């Protein structure tokens, strides 16, 4: 029975390990995982939580405070008996307790505006979180596409090396038959050795890019980390077909950069109002309830009776009028006005920057699309040229060096196609984010 159990456990472990190795991440899964685990995103989430607490503090300033107090004292010598308010030269113990409440009725509306400010700050922190998520998604997409590019280059180099190996075998036969000189064989062997070296470099590039992506996602077990590297031949161009004005208008509505700047203007304006509130008097209401007990009571009342009969109330209004505070209020108002004007300029600059960035992204996407089409055309031409060079080489009308050069040009063109393709995809992802696509919805 033990042997069966051990075999089952071993089989289960092997199956589990195989399943883990078979796991391949899509771009959407990578972005979602990064948004859940990235440290910068978590810090932004803490900023949102902190803004929520600031709002709670502001609400608390609008409601009455309530505090309780109690003290037990033993007195020796000449002391005031709290139940008689007379000096007594004796040893006695006393107990006092009470509750107090305070409510600010008016302080230049600072409490009300502080709550309004807290709500604005809450929205601003949420927009900052959205921007951080967008930046992280873009970084993940870039790293993901780099892996795809390196894998595509590796696949191209291996495919070309297979052709080289076939050509090497054929050349060896022709050299052995005396049809081709020994130099042609050496040239093909040199090409094969160079390609094998390129394969090693390409494999290393794939590993490094996978590790970089895994580290960006904070995936610790990155030895078996793999991504889905198929199904990326069709490139969506829906957003790229829109006009720059349409994308800019959508970005101004959806992107957090402008929203953050707008909220900063509102926050600065609210700070000016709060600072002006210090010009006005502060009116507050208070209420106190106190009672006391002494073991030296001349009426010999018990503890409960004394607390019941010695209690008292105090309530009223308190007014504080600012007259002169070293010009601090006036200076603070001016300082906040300067910050308000600065925030308005920053909002204007944020709109200009967003428009410029969107337009640049649009131009980049259009340019990369044209570069991709040009690379495809060049690839078709190089394929025909290589086929022609191959036919001429097989009948002895060209030498191995010219054949290798033609093959090298084809290899370089395939790499250029891969680079143009994934550069175009990345530029489209940038446009999608500017267009308001949710970072978690980024797909390939």
Tens digits of per-residue pLDDT, 386-432? 888 888 877 777 777 787 888 888 888 888 888 888 888 888 888 88
DSSP tag of 280: S
Number of separate domains in the chain: 2
- 236 and 317 part of one domain: no
- How far from 206 is each of 30, 138, 216, 285, 437, CA to CA, in Å? 17, 20, 15, 71, 29
pTM over 0.75? The answer is yes
Are residue 46 and residue 81 in the same domain, yes or no?
Answer: no
The 8 Å CB, 24+ separation contacts for 346-353 are 346/261, 346/264, 346/265, 347/258, 347/261, 347/262, 347/264, 347/265, 349/261, 350/257, 350/258, 350/260, 350/261, 351/252, 351/258, 351/261, 353/257
Residues 422 and 368: beta-carbon distance below 8 Å: no
Pair (128, 270) in one structural domain:
yes
Query: Which of the two residues, 340 and 185, has the higher pLDDT score?
Result: 340
Domain with 127, as residue range(s), is: 25-63+107-280+322-436
Judge if 88 and 235 occupy the same domain: no
**Is residue 133 included in any domain, yes or no?**
yes
Residues 101 and 131 in one domain: no
Let me know if residue 209 belongs to a domain. Answer: yes
Q: Same domain, yes or no, for 121 and 144?
A: yes
pLDDT tens, position by position, 310-331: 899 999 999 999 888 778 889 9
Q: Are residues 93 and 170 in the same domain?
A: no
Please indicate, yes or no, whether residues 310 and 429 belong to a single structural domain of this protein: no
Q: 11 falls in which pLDDT band (50, 70, 90)? A: very low
What is the rounded average pLDDT of the residues 246-268?
A: 91
Asked if the structure places residue 235 within a domain, the reply is: yes
Choice between 254 and 135, residue whose per-residue pLDDT is larger: 135
- Does residue 398 share a domain with residue 268? yes
Question: What pLDDT does 233 receive?
Answer: 61
Q: Which of 18-27, 178-187, 271-280 is the least confident region?
A: 18-27
Residue 146 contacts residue 205 (beta carbons within 8 Å): no
168, 241: one domain: yes
Q: What is the mean pLDDT of residues 266-278?
A: 94
**164 within 8 A of 191, measured Cβ to Cβ:** yes
Q: Look at residues 321, 341, 374 and tell me which one is the last residue of a structural domain.
A: 321
| Closest-CA residue to 404 (of 160, 153, 152, 156) | 160
What percentage of residues in the chain have a pLDDT greater than 90?
Answer: 40
pLDDT band at residue 15 under the 50/70/90 scheme: very low
Phi, psi torsion values for 415, nearest 5 degrees:
-65, -40
Say if CB 258 and CB 350 are below 8 A apart.
yes
Residues 70 and 59 in one domain: no
Residue 5, both tokens:
């159990």
What CATH number is associated with residue 257?
1.20.1600.10
Q: Is residue 49 domain-shared with residue 123, that is, in the same domain?
A: yes
Residue 6 lies in a domain: no
3 assigned to some structural domain: no
* Domain finish residue from 264, 296, 321: 321
């Amino acid at each position: 029975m033990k042997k069966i159990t051990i075999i089952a456990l071993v089989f289960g472990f092997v199956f589990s390990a195989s399943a883990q190795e078979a796991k391949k991440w899509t771009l959407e899964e990578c972005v979602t995982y990064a948004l859940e685990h990235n440290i910068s995103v978590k810090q932004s989430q803490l900023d949102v939580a902190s803004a929520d607490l600031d709002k709670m503090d502001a609400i608390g300033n609008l409601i009455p405070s309530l505090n309780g107090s109690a003290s037990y004292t033993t007195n020796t010598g000449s002391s005031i008996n709290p139940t008689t308010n007379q000096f007594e030269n004796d040893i006695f113990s006393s107990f006092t307790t009470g509750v107090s409440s305070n409510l600010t009725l008016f302080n230049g509306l600072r409490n009300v505006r502080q709550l309004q400010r807290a709500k604005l700050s809450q929205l601003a922190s949420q927009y900052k979180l959205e921007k951080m998520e967008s930046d992280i998604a873009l970084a993940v997409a870039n790293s993901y596409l780099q892996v795809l590019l390196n894998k595509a280059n590796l696949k191209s180099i291996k495919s070309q090396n297979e052709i080289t190996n076939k050509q090497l075998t054929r050349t060896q036969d022709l050299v052995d038959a005396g049809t081709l000189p020994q130099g042609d064989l050496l040239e093909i062997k040199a090409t094969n050795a160079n390609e094998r070296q390129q394969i090693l470099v390409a494999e290393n590039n794939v590993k490094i890019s996978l590790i970089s992506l895994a580290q960006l996602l904070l995936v610790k077990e990155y030895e078996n980390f793999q991504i889905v590297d198929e199904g990326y031949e069709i490139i969506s161009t829906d957003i790229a077909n829109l006009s720059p004005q349409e994308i800019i208008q959508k970005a101004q509505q959806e992107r957090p950069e402008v929203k953050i700047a707008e909220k900063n203007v509102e926050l600065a304006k609210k700070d000016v109002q709060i600072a002006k509130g210090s010009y006005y008097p502060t009116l507050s209401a208070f209420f106190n309830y106190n009672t006391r007990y002494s073991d030296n009571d001349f009426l010999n009342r018990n503890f409960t009776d004394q607390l019941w009969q010695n209690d008292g109330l105090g309530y009223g209004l308190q007014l504080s009028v600012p007259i002169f505070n070293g010009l601090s209020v006036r200076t603070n108002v001016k300082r906040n006005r300067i910050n308000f004007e600065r925030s308005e300029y920053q909002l204007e600059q944020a709109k200009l920057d967003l428009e410029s960035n969107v337009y640049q992204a649009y131009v980049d996407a259009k340019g990369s699309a044209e570069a991709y089409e040009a690379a495809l055309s060049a690839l078709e031409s190089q394929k025909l040229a290589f086929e022609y060079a191959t036919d001429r080489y097989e009948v002895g009308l060209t030498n191995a060096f010219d054949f290798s050069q033609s093959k090298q040009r084809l290899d370089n063109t395939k790499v250029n196609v891969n680079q143009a393709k994934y550069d175009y995809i990345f530029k489209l992802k940038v446009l999608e984010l500017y267009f308001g696509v949710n970072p978690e919805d980024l797909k390939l």
